[in-house]
Structure 1
Amino acid sequence: MLAPVAARSALPLLLASALLGSVAARGDAQASRESARPAESIVVPRDGFEHPEMFASRRAEFLRRLGEGVAVFHAKPEYERNNDVEFLYRQDSDFYYLTGFEEPEAVAVLSSTGHGPAYTLFVRPRDPTQEIWNGFRWGAEGAKKTFRVDAAYVLDSLPSVMPRLLKDAPKLLYSSAGEPEFGGRLRDWARAAGVLGGSGEVGPSPAAPQADEGPTGSFGFESPVAITHEMRLILSAEEIARVQRAIDITELAHRATMRAAAPGLHEYDLEALQYYVYRVSGAERFGFPSIVGSGPNSVTLHYRDNNRRLGDGETMVVDIGAEYAMYTADVTRTIPVSGTFSPEQREVYQIIADAQDEAMKLMRPGHTIAESSKRAAEVVTAGLVRLGLLKGSVEENLASGAYRQFYMHGLSHWIGLDVHDPAPYTEADGSPRKFQPGMVLSNEPGIYIRSDIPGVDSKWHNIGVRLENDVLITRGDAVDMTARIPRSIADVEAEMRKPPITIGTGESGASIAEDLTPGAAVSVGRVPSPRSGKSKVAVGRVAAPDEGKAKVKASR
């Protein structure tokens, strides 16, 4: 998934050693890539209550960076989709990062004043009726016991408890997570405690909160997210393991897509297949909605309608990412719908593969995204000049920015809890941020040849190619966390010739089998239609030999 141009499991010990440089120092790039992958058998903790010490250490670091003061974080609010229907809930990433708590409406208070508890959590009360309808709630007692909370209260206690927590605080920071009203109440409690916003100003009225939380936060309070965003930039070994697990699941979805794609299917057939693979492989949800753009849709950067019928001879950009334990993958592959790239498609594809390889050479400590982006642009521009799609010299096209009519987006963005993780791309002094071990970012050059670009031969029209890998910075060579997902022209075409993949249900599903396996497995891919000989998608359970039942097929 693209960044805008302006942005420009027990713990696996091998991951930690990769961060320390012991693997990369061997000088074996392939060994480095393989070593950085957590073992398939590792079960990565996926809920905050499974690993409370990780969140406790983050809170301690946050308070150290905060200095003396109080920071209040509100959980992400629930949003109504339409009458009596809410959008599926996902916790705010900063709130989760510090608490591991995934229920809505909660309020976390972190304090370094020494006048009260360091960590207070306000939560919804236990409610048998609500839990019958909507599921389990932790309640104050459960939250305190399970999430290492110093003090826990139900939400009704806020008016009596919050002023005590704020009293004599030298500064107060607030993150609303988009909640539209709580900031007004917090401001009243801050007044009662003799505390105002970080700037000393009361701020806007509760009826007009700031829509976007920036450096000045909401309701006039300074925002604490600058601290959390900086902390989130360097991933721990466990965080990297979570990202890797999301990538492993996304690998399955990409392989399933490659093996299923065929003229006559619809983009939404493959989108549904991807979401199915995510869920049966242990992912809670997608990290972002799938981009499955074929033909003319392959040149729309963030195309999401996914409703077009696939045509023979077209390219299809597949930009997808599963989310596992709140961390996301973001991997793009471009495939030929017919199974074989045309000569023109191969030319464009190889330019992007070369640009990606060249950019990755600069993804190491001491270098910056700006440097790797510049190198990718040089390779793309040289390729476009060689193909005759740009006139003049490479230097002239780079200087004028003419290449941007074909390659108009940035190369990289941070990856973690969010697909576009929000850490800044510059240092405090405004200089480009240099790579450090533990950063994870995308490497995604692309070429998009729209049919309305003047002077372009029609044989190039509607060829869109983007390749995106997720890269881990180490002390030596960067690690391609997506190395197992077919990328070369030969590997993509070979994958598309393979039979449907077999996916075991649950977390054991993160594996690929070349042949259908009897029992609790699911086949997803192309099978010939007896009537037409054309391909169609088959999704169903494979019958065990003693069941004597045929495989159930669902197809268009």
Structure 2
Amino acid sequence: MIKKSEYKQRRDRFLKKLKNNSMAIFSSAKTKTRSNDTEYPYRQDSNFYYLTGFKEDNSYLIFIKENQKTKSFLFVKKKEAKDELWHGKRLGRQEAKKRFSFDKVLISKKFKSLKKELKTKFKIDENASHNISKMRLIKSKAEIKLIKKAINITKIAHHRAIRFDKIDKNEYELQAEIEYVFKKNGSYSDAYTSIVASGDNANTLHYIENKQVLVDGDLILIDAGCEYEYYASDITRTIPVNGRFSQAQKELYSIVLDVEKKIIKMIKPNVKRTTLQKNTEILLTKGMIEKGILKGNYKKLIKNNKHKKYYPHGIGHWMGLDVHDDAPYKDKNNKELKLQKGMVLTIEPGIYISKDDKTVPKKFRGIGIRIEDDILVTKNSYKNLSSKIAKSINDIETMCYKYKTNQ
């Protein structure tokens, strides 16, 4: 858990960045109707949570800086017995005053009138959210600990998926096994909608229907990660339905795995993501030329974007309070940010070949492979936070075999 002192430190850092004689306003996330009078499970806005640790809706923040002096206001919904009967207990103003180190804590009904009053005196700082996004780039020790916890739960879920008897089951059954583990181990929700894509479905990057029967001989691309105390994990593994990779599957899988390992080893402070991207594309393209998927000189192929037919996405993204963390990739001068100690990013190379692509050798058609890990940038190098999740061909096949022999 993150201590309230850390939330206070974040607010203090934010207030230092706030322009003089200005104000910043933040609102909690709104509840979302699913249908008629039912709602989706509530999740607090990530920036609001980053500054407060407060999880309730109908809440607001106001920060002001006047003559270099700062003041902070938290607005919370009033405790009302009728509302709590239907929607659960509220913290209320008095308890919020005890728990949170704000200059003032007021009930939410007073927000509009105070905002109107303050706006006559202060201008709104339009850089406020951007400043928080920059702060979120570097994770604290407490944040890293929560990310590790999310990844550990996700590890258990992926290993359950590997061991699960998959032949003639449905994609959604495998999804249920994964998400059962999330809930059982204290994760309130997945960090994003789980992708369980078997066979040619893996070539749809954001496939979430998860309705197809799992066929003996196919691969399954599983992109699934849980959220723990608001912090995400994001892991992809590609595994065989029957527990054994075919020769063609091994050939493509080995290319992707080799590229992923090499790119991860490149991670350290001052390296650019575009450098990782460029090297990923070179390595994947060379591998695909070797297998006859692409033909020609790798430099010309990349220059003409021919490789993007089979690898259309980026090598990775920031991760933290959001699975795609709301943090910048460029500075205020539009220059790319270099990796720094404390950043967390994903690394996810892949190869995707449609079953209808007659330009490639037949044995590779209908195969989609992605391997993804979550990486922490350290002082001089990196740490693969998800390194204990099985991904080598031998480890995956052995894990499946040991499970079957124990049945």
Matched residue, 1:142: 95
Matched residue, 1:65: 17
* Paired residues of 1:261 and 1:270 also in contact (CA < 8 A): no
Q: Specify which of 157, 164, 168 is matched with residue 260 of structure 1.
A: 164
Q: Distance in 2 between matches of 1:119 and 1:167?
A: 18
Q: Distance in 2 between matches of 1:330 and 1:65?
A: 31
Matched residue, 2:45: 92
Q: Which AA in structure 2 matches 1:401?
A: N
Bigger Rg over Cα: 1
Matched residue, 1:52: 4
Q: Which AA in structure 1 matches 2:5?
A: E
Q: How many residues align?
A: 406
Matched residue, 2:364: 460
Q: Which AA in structure 2 matches 1:327?
A: Y
The 10-residue stretch of structure 1 (354-363 or 298-307) with the greater mean CA deviation from structure 2: 354-363
Q: Specify which of 83, 104, 110 is matched with residue 63 of structure 2.
A: 110
Matched residue, 2:227: 323
Matched residue, 2:115: 162
* Paired residues of 1:143 and 1:149 also in contact (CA < 8 A): no
Q: Distance in 2 between matches of 1:404 and 1:162?
A: 49
* Paired residues of 1:355 and 1:377 also in contact (CA < 8 A): no
- The CA deviation at 1:432 is 1.9
Alignment of 1:386-425 (within 5 A): 386-425=290-329
**Local SS of the residue matching 2:90:** coil
Q: Distance in 1 between matches of 2:370 and 2:303?
A: 23
* Paired residues of 1:312 and 1:338 also in contact (CA < 8 A): yes
- RMSD over aligned CA atoms reads 1.8
- The CA deviation at 1:167 is 5.1
Q: Specify which of 351, 355, 359 is matched with residue 259 of structure 2.
A: 355
Q: Which AA in structure 2 matches 1:127?
A: E
* Paired residues of 1:442 and 1:471 also in contact (CA < 8 A): yes
Q: Which AA in structure 2 matches 1:307?
A: K
Q: Which AA in structure 2 matches 1:489?
A: I
**Local SS of the residue matching 2:25:** strand
Identify unmatched segments of 5+ residues in structure 1.
1-44, 174-221, 501-513, 516-526, 528-556
Q: Which AA in structure 2 matches 1:259?
A: R
Determine which structure has the larger helix proportion and give its number: 2
Q: Distance in 1 between matches of 2:37 and 2:232?
A: 29
* Paired residues of 2:292 and 2:361 also in contact (CA < 8 A): no
**Local SS of the residue matching 1:73:** strand
Q: Which AA in structure 1 matches 2:266?
A: L
* Paired residues of 1:438 and 1:472 also in contact (CA < 8 A): yes
Matched residue, 1:484: 388
* Paired residues of 1:246 and 1:323 also in contact (CA < 8 A): yes
Q: Distance in 1 between matches of 2:3 and 2:161?
A: 34
Please give the per-residue CA displacement for 1:405-429, whole angstroms capped at 9, x wherever unaligned. Answer: 1111100100000000121212222
- The CA deviation at 1:373 is 1.0
Q: Distance in 1 between matches of 2:70 and 2:90?
A: 23
* Paired residues of 1:436 and 1:473 also in contact (CA < 8 A): yes
**Local SS of the residue matching 1:425:** coil
- The CA deviation at 1:286 is 0.7
Structure 1 position 439 matched with structure 2 position 343: yes
Matched residue, 1:181: none
Structure 1 position 126 matched with structure 2 position 79: yes
Identify unmatched segments of 5+ residues in structure 2.
none
**Local SS of the residue matching 1:112:** strand
Alignment of 1:220-299 (within 5 A): 222=126, 224-299=128-203
- The CA deviation at 1:471 is 0.4
Distance 1:261 1:298, change over 3 A: farther
